[in-house]
Amino acid sequence: MGRLSVDLCGIELDNPVIPASGTFGYGYEFAEVYDINCLGTFSFKGTTREERFGNPTPRIAESASGCVNAVGLQNPGVDKVISEELPRLKKVFHKPVMANVSGFSIDEYVYVCEKLDKEDQVGWLEVNISCPNVHGGGMSFGTDPKAATEVTKAVKAVTNKPVIMKLSPNVTDIVAVAKACEDAGADAVSLINTLMAMRIDIKRRKPILGNVTGGLSGKAVFPVALRMVYQTSKALSIPVVGLGGVSTAEDVIEMMMAGASAVQVGAANLIDPWACKKIIEDLPAALDKLGIKDIKDIIGAAH
């Protein structure tokens, strides 16, 4: 294992940098910009049982230090992901990929996970129980420890690959939800997803987003994400994947010191397609500056 390499649920990553779901498509679009094999891995677009067109437009509203999105899980459905997206991805990405799964019922989570579990390219199943921008979907499971337990148990019963439960920050006690997932058999948790937010067009006197509310991402959420990763990693014995507002190599180091075993980069990819590549290239110098020889040594260092 190299200086930047980390272990995530028994699978070695060349580095801890992972583009977050919804910000990297199914990978091959970014492969036209740079060789995406430099990434640790990436989490592909949230995938549901059936094809979804997504929410009404507008779907994006900018804010001073981030953006509010309500895309609404637009995706071609799991069958097309398996028959079309994954074969296309295999031509340009030669590492295990993280499959992000969304659902509107426990049966749907089980159906999608069971299908993706059979795919050789898939290394991990990231089960999103935290999407705040889809009516009736995801978030209701991620805000209740009991519901989170039920989803985790159901998915673990039909899968052999590591299951990472993606958690919502829109809760009073994220540690309680994380512990419920761990106790139900989750192999890891990832956090945070976006914070519920909105913007208003003051000329039209109406919400900007077609969905009215959406999820806030970007630099504005980093301190919140860091706090939640710190609290959760202290309470759990399974790995934590940290995300939320990460945009620099120093952010990655800070997130890992808070307890993250790997770090996802989201909104930064939408601002700069080369964001993850630059972060990976900047990491060695950032570690040198701090006298850190091996990135694994800093996981949870702030504890």
What pLDDT does residue 137 have?
47
Whether residue 131 lies in the annotated active site: yes
Cis bond before residue 58 (omega within 30° of 0): yes
- State yes or no: pLDDT of 136 exceeds 70: no
Q: What is the pLDDT of residues 22-43, one digit of tens each?
A: 999 999 999 999 999 999 999 9
- State yes or no: pLDDT of 139 exceeds 90: no
* Separation between Cα atoms, residue 298 and residue 123, nearest integer Å: 24
**Token output for 264:** 């996802």
Going by pLDDT thresholds of 50, 70 and 90, the confidence category of residue 197 is very high
Q: What is the pLDDT of residues 198-218, one digit of tens each?
A: 999 999 999 999 999 999 999
- State yes or no: pLDDT of 261 exceeds 80: yes
* Separation between Cα atoms, residue 47 and residue 32, nearest integer Å: 22
44: number of Cβ within 10 Å: 27
pLDDT more than 90, % of the chain? 92
For 4, 243, 265, the CA distances from 41, given in Å and listed in that order, are 13, 14, 11
**Token output for 237:** 């014995």
User: Which residues are within 8 A (CB) of 85 and not within 5 positions of it... i.e. 6 or more apart?
Assistant: 26, 44, 76
* Separation between Cα atoms, residue 24 and residue 27, nearest integer Å: 6
Which region among 111-125, 137-151, 251-265 has the lowest average model confidence (pLDDT)? 137-151
What pLDDT does residue 174 have?
97
172: number of Cβ within 10 Å: 7
2: number of Cβ within 10 Å: 10
* Separation between Cα atoms, residue 7 and residue 212, nearest integer Å: 40
Contact present, 102 and 126 (Cβ < 8 Å): no
What pLDDT does residue 130 have?
81
Q: Which of 67, 113, 131, 181 is catalytic?
A: 131
The mean predicted confidence, pLDDT, of the chain is 95
* Separation between Cα atoms, residue 20 and residue 215, nearest integer Å: 14
Q: What is the pLDDT of residues 244-256, one digit of tens each?
A: 999 999 999 999 9
Amino acid identity, position 213: T
Structural domains in the chain plus CATH codes: 6-53+73-195+218-298 (3.20.20.70)
Contact present, 72 and 59 (Cβ < 8 Å): yes
What pLDDT does residue 210 have?
96
Q: How many CA atoms lie within 13 A of 63 on its CB side?
A: 20
What pLDDT does residue 110 have?
96
Rounded average pLDDT over 10-26: 97
